[in-house]
């Protein structure tokens, strides 16, 4: 069979189903003579007569009988494959698991809101959060995850990247800390015991805070580093350490403590510039036109807007 002429498969399906050239032609909207020519092509392609005359009608050969069970499924599969991709989506009927790579701080700050939106709009969808490791390129390319959320580092040029939100570092101390409510200078900060989170720095572990202080001729007296922003916040709540975390995480911790009826952390702007933190939404181009992935990306964007509005209101 000519692999480029998929109409032959549809014609074979009609002939095997009807057992008649005339009836098969009627089903496909062709003339009887055109269907006869198609049958001749099918006989050449398969090396079998397929339909032979028996009295006034025609009967299937043994080979045609063997094909009769297979061809309808093949024809339906080919039509499904060649049908234009779906461009619309009904979230309420969507059944799918989505894997999102993000660090624990992002999940803590935005995860609950995202899961609430999913539960309200797509009850059969499951969100599986997994921790980020190294480059997102392989995980996204191999389909190990659907989206990555976080600070964009070195990544493969083929990935799609969209700016999701911006943040900046702030200082956080426990309620009652000696620095709470004070007008803190850069020197005050440098002379305090402070704690920062590792941010995939180069081998010398120079943090953005240390680079900013070095730019104004200062150096932290005592430096502590921890694996995550949530750990930094927890340690600051239990000590006189000053934690440096993104503002959104600090506000999230303050809301959490308030919900428990406990005094939340004191938040202050750092007296030096550490630059802007850009959080990105990252996905692979193969999922760019997938309606479900596109729906999830929009939901993540809506989630961050809603959390941002809550922070402003608070």
pLDDT tens string 168-195: 999 999 999 998 988 999 999 999 999 9
Is the per-residue pLDDT at 312 higher than 60? no
Would you say residue 2 lies in a domain? no
Q: Which long-range contacts (CB under 8 A, 24 or more apart) does 286-293 make?
A: 287/146, 288/160, 289/85, 291/86, 291/87, 291/88, 291/89, 292/89, 292/94, 292/96, 292/98, 293/98, 293/146, 293/147
Considering the domain architecture, whether residues 236 and 197 belong to the same structural domain is answered as yes
Would you say residue 204 lies in a domain? yes
Q: What is the mean pLDDT of residues 97-115?
A: 90
Is the per-residue pLDDT at 3 higher than 50? no
Instruction: Please tell me the pTM assigned to this model.
Output: 0.67
Considering the domain architecture, whether residues 291 and 145 belong to the same structural domain is answered as yes
Q: What confidence tier does 45 reach under pLDDT thresholds 50, 70, 90? A: confident
Q: Are 186 and 294 in contact (CB under 8 A)?
A: no
Distance between CA atoms of residues 202 and 207, nearest Å: 9
Q: What is the mean pLDDT of residues 96-110?
A: 89
**Boundary (domain end) residue, out of 82, 113, 142:** 82
Considering the domain architecture, whether residues 160 and 287 belong to the same structural domain is answered as yes
Q: What confidence tier does 87 reach under pLDDT thresholds 50, 70, 90? A: low
Residue 237 domain boundaries: 169-275
Question: Structurally, how many domains does the chain consist of?
Answer: 3
CATH (domain of 190): 3.40.190.10
Q: Please report the pLDDT score of residue 4 as a whole number.
A: 45
**Boundary (domain end) residue, out of 63, 82, 101:** 82
Considering the domain architecture, whether residues 189 and 249 belong to the same structural domain is answered as yes
Considering the domain architecture, whether residues 157 and 286 belong to the same structural domain is answered as yes
Question: How far does CA 102 lie from the centroid of its chain?
Answer: 10
End-to-end CA distance of the chain: 69
Considering the domain architecture, whether residues 159 and 173 belong to the same structural domain is answered as no
Considering the domain architecture, whether residues 215 and 242 belong to the same structural domain is answered as yes
Would you say residue 178 lies in a domain? yes
Task: List the structure tokens of 309.
Answer: 């509005």
Q: What is the mean pLDDT of residues 3-29?
A: 83
Considering the domain architecture, whether residues 266 and 301 belong to the same structural domain is answered as no
Q: Which long-range contacts (CB under 8 A, 24 or more apart) does 57-60 make?
A: 57/19, 57/20, 58/19, 58/20, 58/21, 59/19, 60/16, 60/19
Considering the domain architecture, whether residues 216 and 187 belong to the same structural domain is answered as yes
Residue 260 is classified by DSSP as T
Measured over all CA atoms, what is the biggest interatomic distance in the chain, rounded to whole angstroms? 106
CATH (domain of 68): 1.10.10.10
User: Which residues, listed in sequence order, are joined to residue 260 by a DSSP beta bridge?
Assistant: none
Would you say residue 1 lies in a domain? no
Considering the domain architecture, whether residues 65 and 139 belong to the same structural domain is answered as no
Q: Please report the pLDDT score of residue 223 as a whole number.
A: 78
Considering the domain architecture, whether residues 267 and 175 belong to the same structural domain is answered as yes
Considering the domain architecture, whether residues 50 and 186 belong to the same structural domain is answered as no
């Amino acid at each position: 069979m000519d692999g480029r002429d998929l109409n032959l498969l549809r014609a074979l399906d009609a002939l095997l189903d009807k057992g008649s050239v005339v009836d098969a032609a009627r089903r496909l909207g062709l003339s009887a003579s055109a269907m006869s020519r198609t049958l001749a092509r099918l006989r050449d392609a398969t090396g079998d007569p397929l339909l032979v005359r028996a009295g006034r009608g025609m009967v299937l050969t043994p080979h045609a009988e063997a094909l009769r069970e297979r061809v309808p499924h093949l024809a339906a599969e080919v039509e499904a494959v060649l049908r234009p991709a779906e461009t619309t989506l009904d979230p309420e009927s969507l059944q799918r698991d989505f894997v999102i790579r993000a660090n624990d701080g992002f999940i803590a700050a935005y995860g609950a809101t995202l899961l609430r939106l999913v539960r309200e709009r797509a009850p059969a969808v499951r969100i599986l959060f997994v921790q980020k490791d190294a480059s997102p390129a392989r995980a996204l390319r191999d389909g190990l995850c659907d989206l990555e959320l976080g600070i964009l580092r070195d990544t493969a040029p083929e990935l799609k990247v969209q700016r999701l939100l911006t943040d900046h570092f702030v200082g956080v101390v426990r309620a009652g800390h000696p620095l709470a409510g004070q007008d803190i200078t850069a020197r005050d900060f440098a002379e305090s015991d402070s704690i920062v989170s590792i941010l995939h720095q180069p081998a010398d572990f120079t943090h953005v805070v240390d680079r900013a202080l070095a730019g104004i001729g200062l150096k932290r007296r005592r430096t502590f580093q921890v694996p995550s922003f949530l750990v930094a916040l927890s340690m600051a709540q239990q000590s006189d350490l000053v934690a440096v975390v993104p503002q959104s995480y600090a506000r999230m911790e303050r809301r959490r403590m308030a919900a428990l009826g406990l005094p939340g952390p004191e938040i202050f702007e750092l007296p030096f510039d550490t630059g802007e933190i850009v959080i990105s939404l990252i996905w692979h181009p193969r999922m760019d036109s997938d309606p479900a992935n596109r729906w999830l990306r929009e939901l993540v964007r809506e989630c961050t807007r809603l959390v941002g509005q809550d922070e402003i209101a608070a």
